[in-house]
A = this chain, B = another copy of it.
Amino acid sequence: MGFDRLIEGIVKTQNPTVAGLDPKLEFVPASIKEACFAQYGKTLEGAAAALLAFNKALIDSLCDIVPAVKPQAAYYEMYGWQGVKALYETIAYARKRGMFVITDGKRNDIGTTMEAYATAHLGATDVAGTSVEAFGADALTVNGYLGTDGIKPLAHICAARDKGIFVLVKTSNPSSGELQDMKIENGVTVYEQMGRMCENWGAELMGQYGYSAVGAVVGATYPDQLAEMRAKAPHTFFLVPGYGAQGGGAEDAKNAFDQNGLGAIINSSRGIMCAWKNQGLTEEEFAQAARAEALRMREDILHTIGEISVNKND
């Protein structure tokens, strides 16, 4: 249920990190782009082919040492439906290589529409009696601004199909506090209120390692709030952006974990995709550089949290 498969992957690889696949065309080496443009022209189709080739090389290089990938939907939509096709193919490829796939879409809407999003990204679509996975991810990021109606359809699919969601609680960006840090009438902040809602939504979706299928996004750039929410939302698994390019370090991210080194997965996107820049390598060596950076990041985090283990609560 929920994040059990992800947790098992984290324990197996001893690596609580997820590689963000946010492939802007400028990150893709010239040789890949030239080959794709030669085949498809300087078109969205050509760009999408380049993104997919880039992603596949990263996945091949990371899949035995990193348990999960997180493609960010925006960077695929930017290249049109052709880019969205590359998102679909990236998800399928990563799952085939044994990785847990978190589609970062931050979707949100009223209940009937959320059923459609849940079906699209985590479920299966009925086409005249045939059931087809439209995108087929393992988890989806969502925004809880609309309240329970917008979460319930996701909860049903999480229970039925062994999937998870991450609800935005305290985001990593500089202006996240404008709304999220405001205190509401019951004396708690907006982000804490959202964390309480995650605990409530997850109560009937508990996995076997103490965490529910309703996770939360809490940024490494706010380490105090990360520690606060770890204590206040003990059954909520965290997806933690902000490590690396956004400025958060392992000492900040440490606050996301419980005493077993569980409870969170730390994202790195540009830090892994563009690692060659910091390693004195060429862009053509991006995949081996990504692997080296993923190993460095694992050491960095494990150094602060120690060995990761599970205590089953059967």
Contact = CB atoms under 8 A, between A and B. Distances in A.
Interface of A: 22, 24-25, 33, 37, 42-44, 46-47, 72, 74-75, 77-81, 83-85, 87-88, 106-111, 113-114, 116-117, 119-121, 125-130, 132, 134-135, 143-150, 168, 171-180, 182-186, 190, 193-194, 197, 241, 246
B81 A120 contact: no
Contact of A37 (B128, B183, B194): B128
B173 A120 contact: no
Number of copies: 2
Contacts of A79: 120, 125, 127, 134
B22 A113 contact: yes
A109 B107 contact: no
Given A37-B128, A78-B116, A110-B173, 19 more contacts: A22-B113, A25-B126, A42-B128, A47-B127, A74-B114, A75-B116, A77-B117, A77-B134, A77-B135, A78-B119, A81-B88, A145-B145, A146-B175, A146-B176, A147-B177, A148-B175, A179-B190, A182-B184, A182-B193
A178 B84 contact: no
A133 to B, nearest CB: 8
Contacts of A186: 182
11 contacts: A37-B128, A72-B109, A77-B116, A78-B125, A108-B108, A110-B246, A111-B173, A146-B171, A146-B173, A149-B174, A179-B190
Given A47-B127, A72-B113, A125-B79, A182 B185 contact: yes
A132 B178 CA distance: 34
Contacts of A179: 144-145, 147, 190, 193-194, 197
B74 A107 contact: yes
- 7 tightest CB-CB pairs across the interface, nearest first? A147-B175, A147-B178, A74-B116, A77-B120, A81-B85, A80-B134, A110-B173
A173 B144 contact: no
B134 A149 contact: no
A29 to B, nearest CB: 13
Contacts of A190: 179, 182, 184, 190
Given A44-B132, A106-B108, A81 B84 contact: yes
Nearest to A183: B185
B193 A175 contact: no
Contacts of A81: 81, 84-85, 87-88
Contacts of A83: 134
A213 to B, nearest CB: 19
Contacts of A44: 125, 127, 132, 134
Contact of A74 (B24, B74, B113): B113
Contacts of A175: 146-150
Given A106-B108, A108-B108, A193-B182, A80 B135 contact: yes
A129 B77 contact: no
A45 to B, nearest CB: 10
Contacts of A184: 182-185, 190
